[in-house]
Structure 1
Amino acid sequence: MRVSEVMTRHVEVIDPGQPIQKAAQCMCDMDVGALPVGENDRLVGMITDRDIAVRAVALGKSADTPVREVMSSQVCYCFEDEEVAAVADNMANKQIRRLPVLSRAKRMVGILTLGDLAVSEEGSPMMQKVGQALAGISHPGGAHSQTDDRINSH
């Protein structure tokens, strides 16, 4: 199965010059946790709700802070013609929950989420890949590790 068969096609893209308040409002309106950041028809980054919380709010930045100041500019992506199983393995290895999907001309055509993987082939070997992806992502560590001893103090 190819990525193009399971990805979400209609994806809101935000401009890096937009304020983070606009990004947060878009995320709220669409009930998503991340937005691709695009400029001149090219993917230049991703911004997540966590980026806004940790790289902006926690540091006292204002709601007018441009997206480019808090977004992740190094973005992993996949191509629409790749095999889903291989991409799911990559998502697990890199602890990625959402992956922009590009055409071979490097134009954004969608996004692949764990949710897309989970509903793609319920009860099949694909679900084993989803389970592996979730296990890899849920393992402590990675770029955005959070450790809080208070969680285990109950």
Structure 2
Amino acid sequence: MNGQKVHEVMTREPVTIGMRETLIGAATMMRDYDIGDVIVTDGERAIGIVTDRDIIVRAIAEGRDLTTTVGEICSQELVTVKPDDSAQRVVELMRGRKVRRVPVTEGGRLVGVVSLGDMALERDPHSALADISSAMPNH
């Protein structure tokens, strides 16, 4: 991973959802795309991220209605990187901020996302986490 850049490991064209969309919309997208998160946007600007866990812990467990907007429950302290940042920087951010997904922005525009699974595949493609991350869904 020495010298490797974010653009070499990121997932391009991440799934996004508008901040005024509902939890039902976010959950449906996660199901349809077989993912555990969507980037929350306001126009072309990434403003947050909502995960399947957020829907459970920040909405359902608190008794919120499923028509709650994703903007109300998403993680808004967004940590981002640029495509030319080092992959090592992503690892340090994930470790330091305790996040599993980092949006990639260029000129304020969302261009990708790097997940813990992406990094596991790059660092050690034979590790247990890499195997899990690359496995076909079991549903």
TM class by shorter chain equals: 0.7 to 0.9
Whether 1:100 aligns to 2:103 is yes
Identify the residue that residue 120 of structure 2 maps to in structure 1.
Answer: 118
User: Higher relative contact order by CA 8 Å / sep ≥ 6: 1 or 2?
Assistant: 2
- The Cα of 1:122 is off from its aligned counterpart by 3.1
* Aligned sequence identity (%): 35
* TM-score, normalization by structure 2: 0.83
Unaligned segments of structure 1, at least 5 residues: 131-154
- The Cα of 1:26 is off from its aligned counterpart by 0.7
- Structure showing the higher strand proportion among its residues: 2
Pick aligned residue for 1:64 from 63, 67, 71: 67
Pick aligned residue for 1:78 from 76, 81, 101: 81
Pick aligned residue for 1:16 from 19, 44, 69: 19
Q: Distance in 2 between matches of 1:26 and 1:116?
A: 20
Q: How well do the aligned residues superpose, as a CA RMSD in angstroms?
A: 2.0
For the residue of structure 2 that corresponds to 1:109, the secondary structure is strand
- The Cα of 1:120 is off from its aligned counterpart by 2.0
Unaligned segments of structure 2, at least 5 residues: 130-139
For the residue of structure 1 that corresponds to 2:39, the secondary structure is strand
Select the structure of larger CA radius of gyration.
1
Whether 1:49 aligns to 2:52 is yes
Q: Which amino acid aligns with 1:43?
A: A
* TM-score, normalization by structure 1: 0.75
Identify the residue that residue 28 of structure 2 maps to in structure 1.
Answer: 25
Q: Distance in 2 between matches of 1:110 and 1:28?
A: 20
For the residue of structure 2 that corresponds to 1:78, the secondary structure is coil
* Alignment deviations for residues 49-101 of structure 1 (CA, whole Å, 9 cap, x no partner): 11111111011111111111111111111111101012211211111110001
Q: Which amino acid aligns with 2:37?
A: A
* Alignment deviations for residues 11-68 of structure 1 (CA, whole Å, 9 cap, x no partner): 1100011110110111112221111001121011111111111111011111111111
